[in-house]
Amino acid sequence: MSRHPLNNRVHLAKRIASGLFILHSADLVHKIVRPDNIVLLDRESRESGEERYPWRLGEPFRVGFNVARRADAASLMLRTEEWRRNIYLSPERQRLQHGDHFRAQHDLYSLGVVLLEISFWSSFQDSRSENLGSRVWKKERVQKTEPSAPEYKKVLRTPEELRDQYLLLATRYVPRLMGQKFADVIVSCLNGLKDKAGTSALEDLDGIVVGSAYLTHIIRKLEQISL
């Protein structure tokens, strides 16, 4: 399906971010923010003749709370080899050890990846998509056992390589698709709101980014976008 109008996609991004803000305000983290856990539902109060979903975007509702928990609870570190989930996880999240805390900014990183998909109206999970799907893979040379054996195999990029790819897309292509402000929001999500010195803009005394304040900054950036 072709991309929805720009104002509809920006509205969708605002609603998804606002929903995550409500969750973080309750001192909860979702842990698996990705398109699979966001459903769009049409409003019942549509006027007669008004376009309905999927021709017009519905309201987003978040699902998949089976691993959500309080932000101050220690992580159980239930690892997954499912690449369709891992591509939405930050490098820091994937390096956590048993007993470490899943922090709110890990949700924000995942939000940044989702906003990238909204920008291109495509999915990193779709291997047929040259814009996004091909970006998560790389070719790796293999030792040939037979002359006819392939010289390369396709492997998933490392978490750090994925973040570099996401930042490249956000800085080079998103400004032309969604505008510079939307691109800045994605970069803020992926970088953890770090300033030019590499320090976090919103930290408490323990050095932990405050989830609700963190996301408030993102929402303010989105609200500055007027169409």
Q: Is the pLDDT of residue 56 over 70?
A: yes
Q: Are 165 and 136 in contact (CB under 8 A)?
A: yes
Strands 28-29 and 69-70: antiparallel
Q: What percent of the chain has pLDDT over 90?
A: 27
Q: Does the reported pTM lie above 0.75?
A: yes
Q: Residue 75 — very low, low, confident or very high, per pLDDT cuts 50/70/90?
A: low
Q: What are the phi and psi torsion angles at 136 (to 5°)?
A: -85, -5
Beta carbons within 8 Å of 114's beta carbon, 6+ residues apart? 16, 33, 34, 35, 38, 88
Whole-number pLDDT of residue 206:
39
What Cα–Cα distance (Å) separates residue 47 from each residue in 52, 79, 144, 192, 216?
Answer: 10, 46, 63, 41, 33
Q: Are 188 and 221 in contact (CB under 8 A)?
A: yes
Beta carbons within 8 Å of 57's beta carbon, 6+ residues apart? 4, 8, 9, 11, 12, 40
Express each pLDDT in 91-107 by its tens digit: 877 766 555 566 777 88
Measured distance CA(156)–CA(163) in Å, rounded: 12
Q: Are 92 and 162 in contact (CB under 8 A)?
A: no
What average pLDDT does this structure show over 105-115?
90
Q: Are 150 and 165 in contact (CB under 8 A)?
A: no
For the chain, domain boundaries: 6-223
Whole-number pLDDT of residue 2:
55
Q: What percent of the chain has pLDDT over 70?
A: 70
Residue 18 tokens, joined:
């606002």
Measured distance CA(131)–CA(172) in Å, rounded: 12
Q: Among 3.30.70.250, 1.10.510.10, 3.10.400.10, 3.50.50.60, what is the CATH number of 6-223?
A: 1.10.510.10
Express each pLDDT in 194-211 by its tens digit: 544 444 555 553 334 555
Give Cα 134 to chain centroid, integer Å: 17
